[in-house]
A and B are shown apart, each in its own frame.
Chain A
């Protein structure tokens, strides 16, 4: 999500370089997944990185919705934070090794903590990417960041190459090796 203004005066090599650098999906600015790419049909350790609060306000809750096809979800406990799990039926049945699962965790809430803007933290959960997920597509984990003052919703799903200011953390799926 970077727009290089064609009209910027004096486009120097340095500026062009910055444009190129910035055009690479920069993970450090938003709430993002540490591993942006994973194989279908394997387990996946999701690390949600939270580098900032909401315009300087400390983060007090992180809520993430688990997309369809991500199963066997287990969050990692976090001192100072309370975890709530929302369970529900999946869209369809998935294979988990030799078992069939049709319901599980659909949302994880970490709350009760306080992460100041000056600090960085990671929110971790373990999961399995079902084999019937399609390789080559990107699935999204919309995350809501609640702060003492304000809310940041990292839930915008990109479409047709549009660049949005608050995109959902995405995971690119690749074929099973």
Chain B
């Protein structure tokens, strides 16, 4: 078991014989647009073995169009529409049969910003389609399933008013759910709208956390449709309950909110928030129909029960905002915050209207007539749809929490004569800052250490060794900055400590590393 210190030497190959003299694009360079080809030049003729490219999204592709001529290897570049940091992992065989491998890092457009959000330069058409699909899905879930729940639990007589609209909402929601899968895949692979039919795109969309949300949403919508269609009252109620819970689950399965730490708070908060929105917003459409039809009983029951979900809604909303924003001024300085502020503004108006309904108009219903109440409810309904449209924008903004530095990882490597304590802190858009403490077995610092190198490689993903040399900060403290780890997973890590000219201690082990683009 050894510690790994990655030393960054642009030209030095990991193995000995053939040396990489130069590359195009140069190691560490940022080029304005995607290259047509990638070229590696060695100090002797080599035979290519494996070439892999890691995209900014973390996807690893094996490159097959490789040509060796004289002392260069030329690789035809695959389409590289994404802007960000790429890593070319190369492995060749020297003339004597000895394999050599390494990596070349470069960036297209700009180095990765380190934010796990879709690139702003992604296709606008795809983003618009995603927004629309999400909006229709939300309408299907909240208005459709929420409405079905209202009908099952609160409506007194049959046929249920506004049933056709609620059925239509759920049916549209189903369609939108299915369509959103390949759209998500398009965004993840940064491919244009016309590629929506490719199976790889569907597979990609399904593989994201959004895939889970879609599955839960589809199940929820089907249960909701059943609940609405059943004549058996108690069964309909049961199904409606399940469907309402399904709404909460669908939203908790993906998205920024449910992945914020601490998850033991954020996941239940998202669940409750989703359920309460469904109860409130879902009730508006059938409520308006009921009031017009003159059903006072359902209205009164609703008025009695509604404060609880609304209060829960406000409470969970505040909790989630608190978790997502790391400072109050993020409300107007970040795009995420701006979306939240607009949502809150309209929510306030909505709450005011709801209060108007409950405390002013409903008590005076017998006297004043239903027209005003229905109009206010209709306004509430429209505002709710606007809110759904606004929150759909969050898909395209990273929450401030995600922009702040991610958590530090502590790695301890141990071998006979020495130990290394490695603190790895991902820094947004700049790879990871690595701090290495080198001590002997008794935790005494190895003052004699002349040089410390870190090497990491990923046999599972097929990524060749990345080597960095650390700079000394104090007697036993060494530092590497900007270590970009292209994929998450199990890496092999080695720390090489140079004690004197003739002695080097090597400590090596497997470590679990996050992606730090």
Distance from B279 Cβ to chain A, minimum over Cβ atoms (Å): 51
Once the chains are docked, how many angstroms separate the CA of A155 from the CA of B16? 13
Chain B contact surface mostly: loop
Considering residues B94, B97, B496, B504, which has the most beta carbons from chain A within 10 angstroms of its beta carbon? B97
CB-CB under 8 A for A29 and B504, given A55-B11, A117-B43: no
B21 x A164 contact (CB < 8 A): no
Contacting residue for A156 out of B62, B96, B98, B506, CB 8 A: B506
Contact A55:B64 (CB < 8 A) given known A29-B94, A153-B501: no
Inter-chain CA distance A69–B91, complex, in Å, is 39
| Contact residues in B for A164 (Cβ distance below 8 Å) | 506
B14 interface residue (CB < 8 Å to A): yes
Fill in one digit per residue for B480-517: 1 if any A CB lies within 8 Å of its CB, else 0.
Answer: 00000000000000001010011110101000000000
> Which among B21, B91, B459, B501 has the greatest number of chain A C-beta atoms within 10 A?
B501
Rounded to whole angstroms, the CA-CA distance of A63 and B501 in the bound complex is 9
Interface check B17, CB cutoff 8 A: yes
CA distance A43 to B93 in the complex (A): 37
Shortest 4 CB-CB contacts between residues of A and residues of B:
A29-B17, A142-B502, A65-B502, A55-B19
Q: Is A8 on the interface with B (CB-CB < 8 A)?
A: yes
- Name which of A6, A15, A55, A157 has the most chain B CB atoms within 10 A of its CB: A55
With an 8 A cutoff between CB atoms, is B226 at the interface? no
Q: Are B501 and A55 in contact (CB under 8 A)?
A: no
Question: Is the C-beta of B15 less than 8 angstroms from some C-beta in chain A?
Answer: yes
Measured between beta carbons, the chain B residues less than 8 angstroms from A18 are 93, 97
The answer to whether A56 and B504 have CB atoms under 8 Å apart is: no
In whole Å, how far is B506's beta carbon from the nearest beta carbon of chain A? Answer: 6
Cβ–Cβ < 8 Å partners of B498 in chain A: 153
Whether the pair B14, A22 counts as a contact (CB closer than 8 A) is: no
Knowing A1-B15, A9-B64 are in contact, say whether A28-B99 is a contact too (CB < 8 A).
no
Would you list which residues of chain B between 83 and 105 have a CB under 8 Å from chain A?
A: 91, 93-94, 96-99
Chain B positions within 8 Å of A79 at CB level: none
B-contacting residues, A23-62, CB 8 Å: 26, 28-30, 52, 55-56
Quick check: is B50 within 8 A (CB to CB) of the other chain?
Answer: yes
Contacts of A152 in B (CB 8 A): 16
Residues in chain A near residue B99, CB distance under 8 A: 2-3, 22
A72 at the interface (CB under 8 A from B): no
**Taking CB as reference atom, which chain A residue is nearest B63?**
A9
Contact, CB under 8 Å: A22 / B93: yes
Question: How many residues of A sit at the interface, in one of the four size bands?
Answer: 35 or more
The answer, yes or no, to whether A175 is at the interface (CB within 8 Å) is no
Interface of chain A, main secondary structure:
loop
Chain B residues whose C-beta falls within 8 Å of the C-beta of A166 in the assembled complex:
16
User: Is B501 in contact with A9, judged by CB distance below 8 angstroms?
Assistant: no
6 contacts between A and B (CB under 8 A): A2-B98, A7-B459, A55-B12, A142-B502, A153-B498, A164-B506
B49 interface residue per 8 A CB criterion: yes
A133 — which chain B residues lie within 8 A by C-beta?
Answer: none
B503 touches A56 (CB 8 A): no
Contacts of B16 in A (CB 8 A): 29-30, 52, 152, 165-166
The reply on B389 being an interface residue by CB < 8 A is: no
Question: B502 touching A9 by the CB < 8 A rule?
Answer: no
Closest to A24 in B: B97
Q: Is the Cβ of A56 less than 8 Å from the Cβ of B21?
A: yes
B66 to A: closest C-beta gap in Å: 11
Judge whether B255 is part of the interface by a CB distance below 8 angstroms.
Answer: no
How far is A1 from B16 in the complex, measured between Cα atoms in Å?
Answer: 10
Tell me the complex Cα distance, A63–B14, Å. Answer: 22
- CB-CB nearest in chain B for A163: B15
Contacts of A56 in B (CB 8 A): 19, 21, 43
Q: Which of B43, B496, B501 contacts A144 (CB 8 A)?
A: B501
Query: Which residues of the other chain, B, contact A8 by a CB distance below 8 angstroms?
Result: 49-50, 91, 462
Let me know if A162 is at the binding interface, CB within 8 A.
yes
Which of B14, B15, B64, B506 has the most C-beta atoms of chain A within 10 angstroms of its own C-beta?
B15
Contact indicator B502/A144 (Cβ below 8 Å): yes
Query: Known contacts being A9-B64, A63-B501, is A162 close to B14, with CB within 8 Å?
Result: no
A70 to B506, CA, bound (A): 25
A162 touches B506 (CB 8 A): yes
Q: What chain B residues lie within 8 Å of A15 (beta carbons)?
A: 49
The answer to whether A52 touches B17 (Cβ under 8 A) is yes
**Measured CA separation A106–B498 after assembly (Å):** 19
**When chains A and B are docked, how far (Å) is the Cα of A156 from the Cα of B93?**
22
Is A22 a contact partner of B98 (Cβ separation < 8 A)?
yes
List the A side residues contacting B11 at CB < 8 Å. 55
Whether a CB of chain B sits under 8 angstroms from the CB of A21 is yes
Question: Are B504's CB and A21's CB within 8 A?
Answer: no
Is the CB–CB distance between A5 and B21 below 8 Å? Answer: no
Residues of B within 8 A of A153 (CB): 498, 501-502, 504
What residues of chain A lie closer than 8 Å to B43, measured between beta carbons?
55-56, 117
Docked Cα-Cα span, A142 to B503, in Å, equals: 8
19 further A-B contacts with Cβ under 8 Å, apart from A28-B17, A156-B496, are: A1-B15, A2-B98, A5-B49, A7-B50, A7-B460, A8-B91, A8-B462, A9-B62, A18-B97, A26-B96, A28-B98, A29-B16, A29-B17, A30-B17, A52-B16, A55-B11, A56-B19, A155-B504, A156-B504
Report A144-161 CB contacts with B as 1/0, cut-off 8 Å: 100000001101110100
With contacts A5-B50, A8-B49, A55-B21 taken as known, whether A29 is within 8 angstroms of B501 at the C-beta atoms is: no
